[in-house]
Structure 1
C-alpha cells in the first residue's frame, strides 16, 4: 500500500498543472430580466490500483464528478421562470474506464456524453421539466454533507469500476468492481419530470424516461422520490428516498430499485451519512460514513472521513461485498478548488470454491470549478 501512496503523491505537481483553471463562469443579464450563466469544472486525478497480483497507475478524470461544461438560460415569464440547461461531459477517460486490460483514449466524445438538454418551467405550482436530464431518483442514494464525496461516497465503485477482482490463483475473475459494488441510484434519461415546491422541507418528484442517446435502447423507467432538507438549531439534515421501476425491452428481467440516504452535519463539524439500496431481482447494500470538517487553514475548510460499504447477493446468491475507505479534502476558496486524497479497499467472496484477492486503490486529484 505504501508504494501506491508514494506513486500517487509523486504526481501531485503534474495533476495540478493539468487542472489549472483558464476559464471563469460569468453571468450576463438582459434588460428583460433574463440571464445567461456559463459554468463547468475540471477534475483531473491520478489513480493507483493493486489487484493482489499486479499494480496499475494512470492519470484519468475522476468518475465521481467527471469534467464538464454547460450553461443556463433563464427568463422570467410573469410569476413563472423558464429555464434551459445544456451540459456535456468532456469525455476525458475516467477512473471508471481504466482496467487491467484496457488503455482508453484520452478523449472519445460521442452523444452519450451529453448530460443535459433540459427545458423547465417553474412557479408557485412547482417545476415541470422535459428533455435529457436527471430522473427523479438521480442522486437519491448520495445525501452526504461530509464534503469528502470527491474521494469517498456511497458510489464506492466509481474509483475502480472496470477493474476485475483477481483470484488467489492469480487469474482475472470476470467479476468487476462495478458488478460487485452497485448503488442502484437513478440516472439521466430523456424524460418528463415534475417537482413540487418545498413543503416544510419536503420535495416530492416523479418522472418517466427512456434512453434517447443510445441507439437501439428501448428500455423505459419511471420513478418517484421524496427529498428532505432542513436546519434544526446546530444540526443540518439532508435526506432522500426513491423507487425506480425499470421496464427492460430485452431478455433482461424488469427490476424495481429502492434507494434511501440520510446525512446530518453538526455545527461543530462532525457529520454522518448512511445509504441503503435494494434491487428486487438481486440483493442489497448498506453504507455508512463518519466525517469531520474544520477550518484548520485560512485557505479553506478541511474535511476528513471514514466509510464502510457492505452488500449481499449483488453478483450471485450468497455473495458478499465489503469496502472501506478514508478520504481527505482540502478546499482552496480563492481558486474555487478542492484537492483530495482517498484510499479504498474492496473485498469479495461468494459460495463458489474460488477465493478472491482484495483490491486496493488510491486516488489523488483536484477539482477546479468555473
Structure 2
C-alpha cells in the first residue's frame, strides 16, 4: 500500500506541474521544455531483526535504520548558468530497528514531522558554489561515512543503527539504563534547519560550512555550526574518498561541545578490495575509531556480491571511564534488474564503565532487503 501511494503522489505532483514524463531505472523523472526536471524517488528497506542481550532474545520485522524507508522529490530548474533546486524527502515513519527495545515495540507506522529529512531550497552557481536554505544536511553530515565496500546498507560506522534502543544487561540479568546508542556514537552532523554554503570543486576538494538549529523538535533549543572539506580522486586503479569536519554544538544553558570527525575510503577496482577508516573526538570528552575491510566481486550475473568485516572502539563515549566495542560481519547481494539488494549481518556489542558493574555482551542479527524506485 505504501508503494502504491508513493507512486500516486509522484504522478499527481508531475501532472500538477504539467511536465512530460520519462522512465528512469531508479526513479520517476519528469522534464519540462526549459531544461527543468522533477524526480520522484524512494526506497523500502525492511529487515528481520534478532537481538540477544545475553538473557533473552527479541525478534521483530523492522525498517532498517541504517538507511530508512523514504520517499522524496527533487526539482532542478536552470536559469542560464545557475540552477534553482528544491528537495523534499521524508522517512515513512515505519517501525525503526533503532526504535524497538526489550521493553517497547512501537507501532508499525507512526509518522510525525521529525521524520522529514529534507525541505530544502538551493541556488547553485558554477563559479561561486551552492547556497542551501531549509531542513537538510549540515556541512558535516556523512563526513564519517566514506565507504566503498558495497555493504553500507546494513553495515557502517553508525554501528548502533540496527538496535540502538536495546539496553545492556548486567551480570545479574537486570536491564541497565545503558542503551547501545549511548555507548556507540559517530558525532556526525546530521540534518537541521540551516543555511549552508558549498564551494565549487577545486583540485578535487569541496569545502562546506553551515549554521543551523533544530526546527522539527519544539522542545529543542540548540544551535549548530560546522565546516567540512571533502576530497575524491583516482590514482591508477585506486579510488580515494575522504572527508574531514569540525562541529560546534551550543545548547541553551549548557557549555559548548566541540568535535572533530573524519573518514577515508580506498577502493582497488581490479581486486574488489576496499578499506575504510573513520574517527571522531569530542574536546574534553569521548573519542572512537572505526575500521572496515570489504571485498566485492561479480560472482553471479544478477549483480555484485559484497562482503565486509568491521570494528568499532570507543572510549568515554558514555562518560569518563566507559569503553565500547563492536565487531560486525556482513554480506550484500545486488539484484541489478530489480534495483534491489538483499543483505545479512551479524554484530556483537560489549560495554564497560570502569565500575564494579559487569555488563553482558549482546549481539544483533538482521536479514532483509532494500528496493529503490
TM-score bracket, shorter-length normalisation: over 0.9
CA 1:291–1:279: 2 relative to 1, 3 Å: same
In the TM superposition, residue 27 of structure 1 has moved relative to its aligned partner by 0.8
CA 1:327–1:47: 2 relative to 1, 3 Å: same
1:281-324 deviation digits (Å, cap 9, x = unpaired) = 42100000001010000000010000111011111222111100
Aligned to 2:365: 362
Aligned to 2:209: 206
Verify: 1:299 aligned to 2:298, yes or no: no
| Distance in 1 of aligned mates of 2:6 and 2:69 | 14
Given that 2:98 and 2:163 are in contact with CA atoms closer than 8 Å, whether structure 1 keeps it comes out as yes
1:226-249 deviation digits (Å, cap 9, x = unpaired) = 001111110000110011100001
1:252-287 deviation digits (Å, cap 9, x = unpaired) = 432011111000000110000000011124210000
Please show how residues 243-254 of structure 1 align to structure 2 within 5 Å.
243-250=246-253, 252-254=254-256
Aligned to 1:10: none
Aligned to 1:280: 283
Secondary structure at the residue paired with 2:337?
Answer: helix
| Distance in 1 of aligned mates of 2:3 and 2:153 | 15
Secondary structure at the residue paired with 1:43?
Answer: strand
Aligned to 2:154: 151
Which deviates further from its counterpart, 150-159 or 328-337? 150-159
CA 1:82–1:257: 2 relative to 1, 3 Å: same
| Distance in 1 of aligned mates of 2:318 and 2:121 | 38
1:16-66 deviation digits (Å, cap 9, x = unpaired) = x99999957211111111111100000011100000010110000000000
| Distance in 1 of aligned mates of 2:55 and 2:151 | 29
Aligned to 2:179: 176
TM-score scaled by length of structure 2: 0.92
Secondary structure at the residue paired with 1:334?
Answer: helix
TM-score scaled by length of structure 1: 0.93
| Distance in 2 of aligned mates of 1:296 and 1:21 | 36
Aligned to 1:109: 111
| Distance in 1 of aligned mates of 2:246 and 2:351 | 27
Aligned to 2:62: 60
Q: Which runs of 5+ in 2 are unaligned?
A: 8-25
Aligned to 2:14: none
Structure showing greater relative contact order (alpha-carbon pairs closer than 8 Å, 6 or more residues apart): 1
Given that 1:128 and 1:193 are in contact with CA atoms closer than 8 Å, whether structure 2 keeps it comes out as yes
In the TM superposition, residue 206 of structure 1 has moved relative to its aligned partner by 0.1
| Distance in 1 of aligned mates of 2:95 and 2:188 | 22
Aligned to 1:128: 131
Given that 1:221 and 1:247 are in contact with CA atoms closer than 8 Å, whether structure 2 keeps it comes out as yes
Q: Which runs of 5+ in 1 are unaligned?
A: 1-16
In the TM superposition, residue 216 of structure 1 has moved relative to its aligned partner by 3.0
Given that 1:49 and 1:361 are in contact with CA atoms closer than 8 Å, whether structure 2 keeps it comes out as yes
